[in-house]
Structure 1
Amino acid sequence: MASRQDIAAWRPSVPGVEEVFHAHFVEHAYPMHVHDAWTLLIVDDGAVRYDLDRHERGTPSDTVSLLPPQVPHNGSPATADGFRKRVLYLDMTQLDERFIGPAVDSPDLGDPLLRLRIGQLHTVLAGRGDELEAESRLALISQRLREHLRPGLTVAPAAPGGAVARNLRDLLDGRLLEGVTLDEAARLLHAHPAHLVRAFSAAFGIAPHQYVTSRRVDLARRLLLAGQPPGEVATAAGFYDQSHLTRHFKRILGTTPGRYVRCGAVRAPAPADVPAGRPAGASSVAPTGLATVR
């Protein structure tokens, strides 16, 4: 009899993540096998039992499991209703071979914050765009995994928090429309990606990806009030398309771009130019009320 299952798998355009895999298995049991990548696993319903390096392990729904590459493991349901899991396959840029031994010894991590961050990253990867958010969340996840496995191998901050935060803000402002990846920002500013995210969030009370999104929404708002059609505004403000703009516009301003213009907003004369950078006299941080990357 065929096992009951529901699966989805895709390869996201986020450096460091080789594959995303979501599955609900009721009866399926994995035989012993290996992966070339790190297997970062959370279980949403039920539980999984597995063998790793000749030791029996288990993953209840409140833990995170990190299975190292090239180490055989299996997996099967530990409850009658099976299990529902979400998996990220991470390449060796996130955790190198030094962490394989510690992961074999302690693959299951009881860390609610880490589990929350992994779930948030899955949510981002299931949508479209927001690469900077995905990269930011991945950087924090990878650093926390390193802290669990071998604290002595974590990367120390490369620069004082305030200075690097201001430098990152200037870089984000200068590349508002075309965007900048977290890895590129780290190279340009000579700082570790996770340190960039933490320093920026601490300095300005908002995560880098939220800052960029809110700046783009603010630019879109001004373009709309200047009379530019919503379909043109999306790409002019740095969004992928109109639906991408609408999703973030509504989340931040509480209404859609079209309704925002129709709701009696007074249209000012079209400006000669709407700059992409931070406008003179404008606040250096985005509107408050947005949750930061934790």
Structure 2
Amino acid sequence: MGARPDITAWRPRVEGIDEVFHAHFADHAYPMHTHDAWTLLIVDEGMVRYDLDRHEHGAPSSVVTLLPPHVPHNGDAATPEGFRKRVLYLNTSQIDAGLAGRAVDRPVLHDPRLRHRVDQLHRTLERPGDELEAQSRLSLVSERLAHHLRDESAAPPVPDPKLAHRLRELLDEHVVEGVTLREAAELLHSHHTHLVRAFSREFGMAPHQYLTARRVDLARRLLLGGMRAPEVATSVGFYDQSHFSRHFKRVVGTSPGHYARAGQAAYRRSSAPRTKAA
């Protein structure tokens, strides 16, 4: 009897990703099968061997593998210890279906920068409440995947700074309730990837970082005003108390509770009556 696999799977609240699948297999072998979505695979331990369109390929930990929809493939471990992998099943809206043939011919992408971006996207997807960040990361990953499949060598066009300022105004109008990249793209009549690039180039930070900072600023005022941290978390748009505390500490350098207590202590000191010296 083989070792029991270690598997985690979920459907994130991020448009464009149908499923996230993390697995550690010691001896499992996939039979020939297909998916309705694009399969974006990175291997963290070991190596995967697979057949795609009657050609054998390997997926070591240094590469990114992209398998097109509806094309049969299998897979098993190429190393005795098995393999640990992370997979994103991307909706067909993320990559032009006309590029499927290119993916069949070259499913293995030797791109350390792309590998790093896919890793970051997975880490973001594991944190509920960071959907805008995941959307931003996904847009850049999808752009780079299409870039590879089209054999494009030219750099992307220079973003429009006016577009960046319009997006900032939109984020300022929706600090608490937030806005998705798709909603922003529709309202500003632009592609969501262009929005991320324009904003990051103009302001030196991604849209999700700006929105988080605005929420933290609002939270600081509410904490100093006496509102309890759990109430502040939902009042300023964070997913839950854990989500709020993590981002607050990252920005401010301390927890919301400690910040509030320090503010209250300073207020008491400043409000205490002063005695005159004899």
Q: In 1, distance between residues paired with 2:267 and 2:186? A: 42
Q: Does 1:183 align with 2:182?
A: yes
Gaps of 5+ in 2: 269-278
1:69-108 map, 5 Å: 69-108=69-108
Larger Rg: 2
Structure 1 residue 210 corresponds to structure 2 residue 227: no
d(CA) in 2 for partners of 1:77 and 1:202? 42
> For each residue in 1:29-70, what CA deviation from the matched residue of structure 2 results, as whole angstroms up to 9, or x when unmatched?
111111111100000011001000000000110100000110
Give the structure 2 partner of residue 52 of structure 1: 52
1:246-292 deviation line (CA, Å, top 9, x unaligned): 11111111111110121256349xxxxxxxxxxxxxxxxxxxxxxxx
State the TM-score, normalizing by the size of structure 2.
0.91
Residue pairs, 1:154-169, within 5 angstroms: 160-169=159-168
SS at match of 2:243: helix
Q: 1:151: how far off?
A: 4.5
Q: Report the equivalent of 1:249.
A: 248
Q: Is the 8 A contact 1:4 1:28 kept in 2?
A: no
**What is the SS of the residue equivalent to 1:103?**
helix
Tell me the equivalent position of 2:140. Answer: 140
- Rounded Cα–Cα distance in structure 1 between residues aligned with 2:244 and 2:222: 12
Mean Cα displacement is larger for which, 233-242 or 197-206?
233-242
* Pair 1:68–1:178, CA change in 2 (3 A): same
Q: Secondary structure at the match of 2:87?
A: strand
Share of identical aligned residues, percent?
A: 64
CA distance in 2: counterparts of 1:219 and 1:267, whole angstroms:
19
1:233 aligns with 2:236: no
Partner of 1:260: 259
Change (3 A) 1:211 1:12: same
Q: Give, in whole Å, the separation in 2 of the partners of 1:2 and 1:138.
A: 35
Q: Whole-Å Cα distance in 1 between the matches of residues 229 and 169 of structure 2?
A: 27
Question: 2:70 and 2:163 mapped to 1: Cα distance?
Answer: 38
Other-structure match for 2:150: 150
Question: Where does residue 123 of structure 1 map in the other structure?
Answer: 123
Partner of 1:8: 8
Residues 2 and 26 of structure 2 are in contact (CA less than 8 Å); yes or no, is this contact kept in structure 1? Answer: no
| Structure 1 contact 4–27 (Cα < 8 Å) conserved | no
State the shift of 1:240 in Å: 2.1
Deviation at 1:126, TM superposition (A): 1.1
Q: How far did residue 241 of structure 1 move?
A: 2.2
Residue 275 of structure 2 aligns with which residue?
none
Q: Match for 2:173: what amino acid?
A: G
**CA RMSD for the aligned pairs?**
1.8
Residue identity in the other structure for 1:141: V
Alpha-carbon offset, residue 2 of structure 1: 2.9
Aligned length: 266
Q: 1:190-215 CA distances to partner (integer Å, 9 max, x unpaired)?
A: 11111111111111111100110011
Q: In 2, distance between residues paired with 1:262 and 1:151?
A: 56
SS state at 1:15 partner: coil
Q: SS of the residue aligned with 1:200?
A: helix
How far off is 1:81 after superposition? 0.7
Cα distance in 1 for partners of 2:247, 2:260 equals 16
Decide which moves more: 233-242 or 248-257. Answer: 233-242
Task: Look up the SS of the partner of 1:79 in the other structure.
Answer: coil
Amino acid at match of 1:82: G
Alpha-carbon distance, 1:234 to partner:
1.1
SS of structure 2 residue aligned to 1:142:
helix
**How far apart in 2 are the matches of 1:220 and 1:54?**
57
> Distance between the aligned counterparts of 2:125 and 2:69, measured in 1?
22
Q: Distance in 1 between matches of 2:85 and 2:91?
A: 19
Shift in CA distance, 259/172, structure 1 to aligned 2, threshold 3 Å:
same
Could you say which residue in structure 2 is the equivalent of 1:271?
none
Deviation at 1:144, TM superposition (A): 0.4
DSSP 3-state at the match of 1:263 = helix
User: What is the CA-CA distance between 1:6 and the residue it aligns to?
Assistant: 0.8
Q: Which structure shows the bigger proportion of residues in helix conformation?
A: 2
Write out per-residue CA displacement over residues 124-148 of structure 1, whole angstroms, 9 at most, x where no aligned residue. Answer: 1111111110100000000000000
